[in-house]
Protein backbone atom coordinates (compact mmCIF):
# COMPACT_ATOMS: atom_id res chain seq x y z
CA UNK A 1 0.00 0.00 0.00
CA UNK A 2 2.83 2.38 0.87
CA UNK A 3 4.42 1.87 -2.55
CA UNK A 4 1.13 2.55 -4.31
CA UNK A 5 0.63 5.64 -2.17
CA UNK A 6 4.13 6.86 -2.99
CA UNK A 7 3.56 6.32 -6.71
CA UNK A 8 0.29 8.24 -6.49
CA UNK A 9 2.08 11.14 -4.79
CA UNK A 10 4.76 11.16 -7.47
CA UNK A 11 2.14 11.28 -10.23
CA UNK A 12 0.36 14.15 -8.48
CA UNK A 13 3.64 15.99 -8.07
CA UNK A 14 4.48 15.53 -11.75
CA UNK A 15 1.07 16.84 -12.78
CA UNK A 16 1.42 19.81 -10.44
CA UNK A 17 4.87 20.61 -11.84
CA UNK A 18 3.51 20.37 -15.38
CA UNK A 19 0.81 22.90 -14.55
CA UNK A 20 3.38 25.21 -12.98
CA UNK A 21 5.43 25.08 -16.17
CA UNK A 22 2.55 26.59 -18.11
CA UNK A 23 3.89 30.11 -17.59
CA UNK A 24 7.53 30.85 -18.37
CA UNK A 25 8.94 34.23 -17.35
CA UNK A 26 12.25 35.15 -19.01
CA UNK A 27 12.08 38.93 -18.66
CA UNK A 28 15.27 40.94 -18.01
CA UNK A 29 17.65 38.08 -18.83
CA UNK A 30 19.83 39.86 -21.42
CA UNK A 31 18.84 37.21 -23.95
CA UNK A 32 19.92 37.70 -27.57
CA UNK A 33 17.73 34.90 -28.94
CA UNK A 34 14.84 32.68 -27.87
CA UNK A 35 16.24 29.92 -25.61
CA UNK A 36 16.02 26.34 -26.84
CA UNK A 37 15.38 24.75 -23.44
CA UNK A 38 11.88 26.13 -22.83
CA UNK A 39 9.48 23.48 -21.54
CA UNK A 40 7.24 22.04 -24.23
CA UNK A 41 4.25 22.44 -21.91
CA UNK A 42 4.48 26.23 -21.93
CA UNK A 43 1.22 28.12 -22.44
CA UNK A 44 2.40 31.69 -21.74
CA UNK A 45 5.90 32.88 -22.61
CA UNK A 46 7.24 36.26 -21.49
CA UNK A 47 10.47 37.39 -23.15
CA UNK A 48 10.07 41.12 -22.55
CA UNK A 49 12.96 43.53 -22.06
CA UNK A 50 15.80 41.50 -23.54
CA UNK A 51 18.20 41.98 -26.47
CA UNK A 52 16.56 39.58 -28.93
CA UNK A 53 17.16 40.79 -32.49
CA UNK A 54 15.01 38.41 -34.54
CA UNK A 55 12.51 35.55 -34.44
CA UNK A 56 13.15 32.52 -36.64
CA UNK A 57 10.89 29.61 -37.54
CA UNK A 58 13.08 27.27 -35.53
CA UNK A 59 12.37 29.27 -32.36
CA UNK A 60 8.72 28.20 -32.18
CA UNK A 61 7.59 25.97 -35.04
CA UNK A 62 6.22 22.57 -34.01
CA UNK A 63 7.61 22.94 -30.47
CA UNK A 64 4.88 24.32 -28.24
CA UNK A 65 1.47 22.92 -29.07
CA UNK A 66 -0.14 24.48 -25.96
CA UNK A 67 1.27 27.98 -26.44
CA UNK A 68 -1.43 30.68 -26.40
CA UNK A 69 0.40 33.84 -25.28
CA UNK A 70 3.77 35.26 -26.35
CA UNK A 71 5.09 38.63 -25.21
CA UNK A 72 8.21 40.05 -26.89
CA UNK A 73 7.90 43.68 -25.83
CA UNK A 74 10.92 45.96 -25.49
CA UNK A 75 13.40 43.93 -27.52
CA UNK A 76 15.53 44.82 -30.57
CA UNK A 77 13.60 42.61 -32.98
CA UNK A 78 13.86 43.79 -36.59
CA UNK A 79 12.39 40.70 -38.26
CA UNK A 80 10.04 37.79 -37.66
CA UNK A 81 10.43 35.08 -40.28
CA UNK A 82 7.38 34.18 -42.35
CA UNK A 83 5.53 31.14 -41.11
CA UNK A 84 6.55 31.45 -37.46
CA UNK A 85 4.46 29.97 -34.63
CA UNK A 86 3.36 26.95 -36.67
CA UNK A 87 1.97 24.21 -34.46
CA UNK A 88 0.93 26.58 -31.66
CA UNK A 89 -2.56 27.76 -30.74
CA UNK A 90 -1.43 31.34 -30.29
CA UNK A 91 -4.18 33.74 -29.21
CA UNK A 92 -2.27 36.77 -27.92
CA UNK A 93 0.92 38.21 -29.43
CA UNK A 94 2.59 41.29 -27.95
CA UNK A 95 5.16 42.96 -30.20
CA UNK A 96 5.07 46.44 -28.69
CA UNK A 97 8.13 48.67 -28.65
CA UNK A 98 10.52 46.62 -30.75
CA UNK A 99 12.04 47.53 -34.14
CA UNK A 100 9.62 46.16 -36.73
CA UNK A 101 9.11 48.24 -39.88
CA UNK A 102 6.36 46.03 -41.33
CA UNK A 103 3.63 43.66 -40.16
CA UNK A 104 5.00 40.10 -39.81
CA UNK A 105 3.41 37.18 -41.64
CA UNK A 106 1.21 35.43 -39.07
CA UNK A 107 -0.77 33.14 -41.35
CA UNK A 108 0.18 30.07 -39.34
CA UNK A 109 -1.96 31.36 -36.46
CA UNK A 110 -4.66 33.17 -38.46
CA UNK A 111 -7.37 30.84 -37.13
CA UNK A 112 -6.48 31.32 -33.46
CA UNK A 113 -4.97 34.80 -33.03
CA UNK A 114 -7.43 37.16 -31.32
CA UNK A 115 -5.10 39.84 -29.91
CA UNK A 116 -2.21 41.54 -31.70
CA UNK A 117 -0.24 44.44 -30.23
CA UNK A 118 2.14 46.34 -32.53
CA UNK A 119 2.31 49.73 -30.84
CA UNK A 120 5.43 51.91 -30.80
CA UNK A 121 7.14 50.30 -33.79
CA UNK A 122 8.58 52.22 -36.78
CA UNK A 123 5.66 51.09 -38.97
CA UNK A 124 4.10 53.89 -41.04
CA UNK A 125 2.02 52.01 -43.59
CA UNK A 126 -0.16 48.92 -43.40
CA UNK A 127 -1.22 47.19 -46.61
CA UNK A 128 -4.51 45.38 -47.03
CA UNK A 129 -2.78 42.01 -47.28
CA UNK A 130 -0.94 42.58 -44.00
CA UNK A 131 -4.04 42.04 -41.88
CA UNK A 132 -6.90 40.79 -44.04
CA UNK A 133 -6.29 37.10 -43.25
CA UNK A 134 -6.54 37.66 -39.46
CA UNK A 135 -10.28 37.05 -39.45
CA UNK A 136 -10.49 36.11 -35.75
CA UNK A 137 -8.76 39.23 -34.46
CA UNK A 138 -10.69 41.03 -31.70
CA UNK A 139 -8.05 43.45 -30.41
CA UNK A 140 -5.55 45.35 -32.56
CA UNK A 141 -3.00 47.70 -31.01
CA UNK A 142 -1.51 50.22 -33.47
CA UNK A 143 -0.84 53.00 -31.00
CA UNK A 144 1.92 55.43 -31.89
CA UNK A 145 2.72 54.22 -35.40
CA UNK A 146 0.29 55.12 -38.20
CA UNK A 147 0.03 58.33 -40.21
CA UNK A 148 -2.77 57.14 -42.54
CA UNK A 149 -5.81 55.19 -41.46
CA UNK A 150 -8.00 53.11 -43.77
CA UNK A 151 -11.16 51.14 -43.18
CA UNK A 152 -10.09 48.10 -41.16
CA UNK A 153 -13.60 46.85 -40.45
CA UNK A 154 -13.84 45.43 -43.96
CA UNK A 155 -10.59 43.54 -43.41
CA UNK A 156 -11.31 42.24 -39.91
CA UNK A 157 -15.05 41.92 -39.24
CA UNK A 158 -14.44 40.49 -35.74
CA UNK A 159 -12.49 43.54 -34.54
CA UNK A 160 -13.82 44.87 -31.23
CA UNK A 161 -11.00 47.08 -29.91
CA UNK A 162 -8.71 49.31 -31.98
CA UNK A 163 -5.97 51.27 -30.19
CA UNK A 164 -4.69 54.32 -32.09
CA UNK A 165 -3.50 56.43 -29.18
CA UNK A 166 -0.44 58.64 -29.82
CA UNK A 167 -0.54 57.78 -33.52
CA UNK A 168 0.60 60.67 -35.76
CA UNK A 169 -2.57 60.50 -37.86
CA UNK A 170 -2.75 63.06 -40.63
CA UNK A 171 -5.35 61.35 -42.78
CA UNK A 172 -8.56 59.54 -41.95
CA UNK A 173 -9.84 58.12 -45.22
CA UNK A 174 -13.37 57.90 -43.88
CA UNK A 175 -14.58 58.43 -40.35
CA UNK A 176 -17.89 56.60 -40.82
CA UNK A 177 -16.36 53.14 -40.52
CA UNK A 178 -15.13 53.95 -37.03
CA UNK A 179 -18.69 53.53 -35.82
CA UNK A 180 -18.59 49.90 -36.91
CA UNK A 181 -16.00 48.93 -34.29
CA UNK A 182 -18.10 46.83 -31.97
CA UNK A 183 -16.92 48.04 -28.56
CA UNK A 184 -13.97 50.40 -28.18
CA UNK A 185 -11.66 52.55 -30.24
CA UNK A 186 -8.90 54.40 -28.39
CA UNK A 187 -8.02 57.62 -30.18
CA UNK A 188 -6.36 59.83 -27.61
CA UNK A 189 -5.99 63.38 -28.98
CA UNK A 190 -5.09 62.71 -32.61
CA UNK A 191 -5.52 65.50 -35.14
CA UNK A 192 -6.81 64.30 -38.49
CA UNK A 193 -6.67 66.60 -41.53
CA UNK A 194 -7.37 69.82 -39.58
CA UNK A 195 -10.34 68.21 -37.87
CA UNK A 196 -10.45 67.20 -34.26
CA UNK A 197 -11.12 63.49 -34.05
CA UNK A 198 -12.77 62.53 -30.81
CA UNK A 199 -14.92 59.83 -29.36
CA UNK A 200 -17.67 59.64 -26.81
CA UNK A 201 -17.40 56.43 -24.87
CA UNK A 202 -20.81 55.07 -23.99
CA UNK A 203 -20.64 51.82 -22.06
CA UNK A 204 -24.13 50.93 -23.15
CA UNK A 205 -23.85 51.73 -26.84
CA UNK A 206 -20.16 51.13 -27.50
CA UNK A 207 -18.90 53.72 -29.97
CA UNK A 208 -22.13 54.89 -31.54
CA UNK A 209 -20.97 58.50 -31.27
CA UNK A 210 -17.54 58.47 -32.90
CA UNK A 211 -17.15 61.41 -35.27
CA UNK A 212 -14.79 63.92 -36.83
CA UNK A 213 -15.71 67.51 -36.11
CA UNK A 214 -14.32 71.01 -35.77
CA UNK A 215 -16.32 71.39 -32.61
CA UNK A 216 -14.95 70.68 -29.20
CA UNK A 217 -15.65 67.24 -27.76
CA UNK A 218 -18.83 67.04 -25.70
CA UNK A 219 -18.47 66.75 -21.93
CA UNK A 220 -18.19 63.22 -20.56
CA UNK A 221 -21.47 61.62 -19.65
CA UNK A 222 -21.92 60.36 -16.12
In this prediction, residue 217 has a pLDDT band, given cuts at 50, 70 and 90, of: very low
Query: Residue 19: its pLDDT value, please?
Result: 47
Measured distance CA(32)–CA(36) in Å, rounded: 12
Is the distance from CB of 118 to CB of 145 less than 8 angstroms? Answer: yes
In angstroms, the Cα distances linking 162 to 83, 122, 141, 195 are: 25, 18, 6, 20
The answer for residues whose C-beta is within 8 angstroms of residue 189's C-beta and 6 or more apart is none
Query: Residue 106: its pLDDT value, please?
Result: 97
Query: Residue 48: its pLDDT value, please?
Result: 98
% of the chain with per-residue pLDDT over 70:
60
Q: List residues bridging with 186 in a β-sheet.
A: 163
Q: What is the dotted CATH code of the domain comprising 22-118?
A: 3.80.10.10
Query: Residue 154: its pLDDT value, please?
Result: 61
The CATH 3.80.10.10 domain(s) of the chain lie at 22-118
What's 178's DSSP letter? G
Give the residue-averaged pLDDT of 169-184: 48
Mean pLDDT of the chain: 75
Identify each DSSP E strand in 148-201 by its residue range. Answer: 148-149, 161-163, 171-172, 184-186, 191-192, 195-198
pLDDT tens per residue, range 112-134 = 999 999 999 998 877 778 888 99
The answer for residues whose C-beta is within 8 angstroms of residue 219's C-beta and 6 or more apart is none
Report how many helices (DSSP H) and strands (DSSP E) the chain contains, helices first: 3, 15
Amino acid sequence: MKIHHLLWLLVCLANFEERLCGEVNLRFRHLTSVPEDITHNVTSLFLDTNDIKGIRQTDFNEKYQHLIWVSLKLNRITFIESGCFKGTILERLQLNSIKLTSIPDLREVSNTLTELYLGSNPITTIRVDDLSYLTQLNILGLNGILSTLHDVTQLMPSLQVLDLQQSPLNRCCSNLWLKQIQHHILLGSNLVARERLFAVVDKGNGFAHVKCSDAEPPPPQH
